[in-house]
Structure 1
Amino acid sequence: MKLFIVAALLIVAVQGDYVLKTLDDLQTARKECILENKVPQELVAEYQKRIFKEEGVTPCYIRCIFTRLGLFDEKTGFITENYLKQLGRGDTVKDGVVGCYDNTGTDTCLWAYRAFTCFTKQGFLPEGY
């Protein structure tokens, strides 16, 4: 029983230790996700113009970035507490952020992409994203 309690406390401690990501972290994640998802150069050019169409590798590229930044889990979706910390607006926007989640179906790339488009429309993207 003691081992279980210690393990549970470690899990909570790890989850509570989210470290805010910098713009350098975001740039690194973008570069790694471009390579990992084999994003064609014409899509990279669109991304640089803030154009993210729901086609090709774009949804998986979006998921990759959020995952690398510790904001998305491929089994459960967005990690709300981490996202709110990164957003820097506290719980005041929690309902709106959670309202952007659409985890229907099994395609986690689409989960991340749909939330990203909602975050964009609602102004729930951290600065620099």
Structure 2
Amino acid sequence: MHLQAFVIEDNATIRENLIGTLEELTCVHVAGVSSTEKDALSWLEQNIEKWDLVIVDLFLKQGSGIHLAQCIKRRRASQKIVVFSNYINASVRKRCAQLGVDAVFDKSTEIDALVDYCAHQCFRIAQAQAA
């Protein structure tokens, strides 16, 4: 059982380290990656049934994570959107909540919390499949 994730991050080093960490420590399997809003939206729309989790940075090579989160309208209740960025503050958290983002994590201080969140999502999916 895997949690299918799509990672939108324009920094290749951060992206690869994040993928390695999540795939090693949780049931996350990264189904795809993007560094731009346009490519991410295209993949997400064409693969609506192939992802359980989107992890997105706020600032991308092209576009923004906030706009991307706003554009992801069609998703199952079980599909989660997470913002993972260096630019997290109270107003960003509030805006993300207004857009329906499920969780927000600061890259510099909350990587463990992101891993815990992903592990919890893995547990939730395993419980749903067992029922």
Same fold (TM over 0.5): no
Give TM-score, length-normalised by structure 2. Answer: 0.27
Larger helix fraction of residues? 1
Could you say which structure has the larger radius of gyration? 1
Give TM-score, length-normalised by structure 1. Answer: 0.27
